Amino acid sequence: MAEQLVELNVTGMHCNNCAMSIHKLLEKKGLHDILVSFASEEVKFSTDDQQVLPEVIKGIESLGFKVVDDAATHQTKFYEKVENKFIFCAIFTAPLLLHMFLPWSFLHNPIVQLLLCLPVFMVGCLHFGKSAYSSVKGGVPNMDVLIFIGSSSAFIYSLVGTVQNLGEHYLFYETCATIITLVLLGNVLEKRSVNQTTSAVKDLMKFQQVNATRVIKNGTEIISAKDVQTGDILLVNEGDQIPVDGEVLSGDASVNESMITGESIPVTKTKYDKIIGGTIIQGGNLRMMATKVGSNSVLSQIISLMKKAQAAKPPVQKLGDKVAAIFVPVVIGIAILTFVLTYFAGGAGLQQSLMNAIAVLVISCPCAMGLATPTAVMVGLGRAAKNGILIKGGDTIEAVANAKYVLFDKTGTLTTGKFGVKDIKVEPGFELEWIRGVIVAIEERSNHPIARSLVKELSSAPQKKVILRSAVEEKGLGMRAIDIDGNNYFLGTAKLSNNDNFNLSLYKNQSLMAQIAIEDTIKSEAAGLIAQLKKAGVTPVLLSGDKASRCEAVAKSIGIKEVHAEKLPEDKLSVVDVYRKKGKTIMIGDGINDSPALTQADVGVSMNDASHIAIQSAKVVLLNTDLQSVVKFLQISKHTLLTIKQNLFWAFAYNIVAIPVAAFGFLNPMVGALTMAFSDVVVIGNSLRLKIKKIN
């Protein structure tokens, strides 16, 4: 039986450790292709036995998480919301803290303090205790273990002091309550920040939640875009969002495709043009036929790619994951050691020794390490997507940021792919107007890009009309045609000329009529891109199947020194291999004839329009074929990696400094809880800065 992909929506994950505990559970159950994302609340895996599903759901829920039908429509119960838990705890914690500043005698009463602390401690036990127990059971202890031990130690110590009436020096109810309340505040801020980091995917998903006007026998009906079937006829009017991918049957309109391509100028769409779901009609109206719906649509593929990319771990994250996995047991060990050394060797009292140990527990924050990479990756991918750049993996970002070589295909990548006639060399006995007429008549029958360019250019020039009886295309050679007088024509690749400038030859009844020199226009921004790459220490290389003379001419005009011309697809593979041995290599091509080389490179970049978005050979798809998006892509990747490194530095440095300070008794547990709560916010805040940061 073939393996099937299972997708589950799981709520309650709030950090990377949560995701790791679910990942470990699924691995133990022998499942494959496991993908757990705490930010998008998704769990995916492959299995050939669907009967294992109830057992898997039960296992996930036993870890303290909840499997729901749809995360978007799932309503969390009032008392389960972390915001409400924080408000409830804050109400009881405030008077406990006030007793330290106010002389009101009833606030100093141990029983009053116990009654104020008890509700907070119960909420903390349910919130952190349940999560701590589940994580230990799952084999990946999380931060909640430290919070639970720290707050419970303070509460039990205070309770013993109250029962035995040992005096106010044994009362630390405010420490217990404050630890719980401040960490809940940290969770609230963390949740809101993580929601912001996933906003790019959520924004795209909103584009799918629209209605469509379907044409039926008696008129029209309004249905949800989710209910549109392939082949349905739809009406889309000015101001409407196109509900699904399709083709225009009638009408014309200007369509804003900026949410797909990043291009702000509207595109005119007329009969037979392809249109993309989620784009908006700014003027005019269309009658369209749905061609791609549901998961086959361009928008669904973009969302799917982004979700996969957000879950793919760059190598730099693996260090953070390894540390986070062993961090909790190590911290508990340090806390115990702190207590033993302070109490027995240091001669401090039980109270001071316990406070030092609790401070060590609550100051530690493996969550910041777990959040360091995924939050930065999500924001980076989101910013890239809004610029029409689809990155198919978080691991791609690291490879791009360290790239040493960028290999470019020529046609359609550095050049526009639109050809112009540079020169027509007419043989004796033939007229230029007649030759133009023959070329137009023949090339009108072909769909080749060169043919379309020639027809467009020559149609406006003086010519004699030629009527053809038939025309057939010979792949890789050219076109053969017969006119109404029975004359045979061939228009194809130049074979006679020793001059590389002439690309095509035209024959009539096997006699040469003319030679045509055509040239591809270099993109206006190509020279600027090459200059920017060189400035960044990246070596640009031209790798093309075109003639050496033309490749050299293009390379010289835009500043590329290393050129590999006349290369077949299999030759390109070996060239890519040579550069990969020297350093990280990016290959940029049109995604079709370059697909083997795109796959072979460290990162393959497809310069393509949205209709070819599903090309699997490239790890990156540039929806906007403007070369400036290549620069933008490299800049976003470098700044995302820089943000990850900054986050990991802050997460590690915080713990390296904070734990010894707490162990030596220089840090109050309450201050520790506050700084711990905000260390997550610092890491996430640094990631969110990437959204608006000026990159160069």
3-state secondary structure 525-539: CHHHHHHHHHHCCCE
Burial class (CB in 10 A: 0-12, 13-18, 19+), 580: middle
Phi, psi (5° rounding) for residue 693?
-60, 140
Q: Could you tell me the two tokens for 488?
A: 């045979």
Q: How far apart are CA 299 and CA 278, in angstroms?
A: 7
Note whether 24 and 376 are within 8 A (CB).
Answer: no
Q: Residue 248 has which token pair?
A: 């225009």
Q: What's phi and psi for 626, nearest 5 deg?
A: -65, 130
What gap in Å lies between CA 301 and CA 614, rounded to an integer?
Answer: 7
- How far from chain centre, in Å, is Cα 654? 28
Q: Estimate the crossing angle of helix 173-197 against helix 82-98, to 10 degrees.
A: 150
Which of 144, 232, 321, 409 is flagged as catalytic? 409
> Where is 250: in which H helix or E strand?
strand 245-256
Instruction: Please give the Cα distance from 63 to 60 (Å, whole number).
Output: 5
Q: What is the 3-state secondary structure (H, E, C) of 72-130?
A: CCCCCCHHHCHHHHHHHHHHHHHHHHHCCCCCCHHHHCHHHHHHHHHHHHHHHHHHHHH
In contact, 328 and 142? CB cutoff 8 Å: yes
Sorted by sequence, the CB contacts under 8 Å of residue 362 that are 6+ apart come out as 146, 147, 150, 151, 179, 183, 669, 672, 673, 676
Question: For residues 132 and 150, what is the distance between their CA atoms, to the nearest angstrom?
Answer: 12
Q: How far apart are the first and last CA of the chain?
A: 51
- Nearest to 113, CA basis, from 89, 127, 97: 97
Q: What sign for the dihedral angle of Cα 81, 84, 85, 86? A: positive
The token pair at 23 is 């990942």
Q: How many CA atoms lie within 13 A of 526 on its CB side?
A: 24
Of the candidates 260, 226, 512, 263, the residue with the CA atom closest to the CA atom of residue 504: 512
602 is catalytic: no
Spatial contact of 373 and 312, defined as CB atoms under 8 Å apart: no
SS3 518: strand
Cite the active site residues. Answer: 409
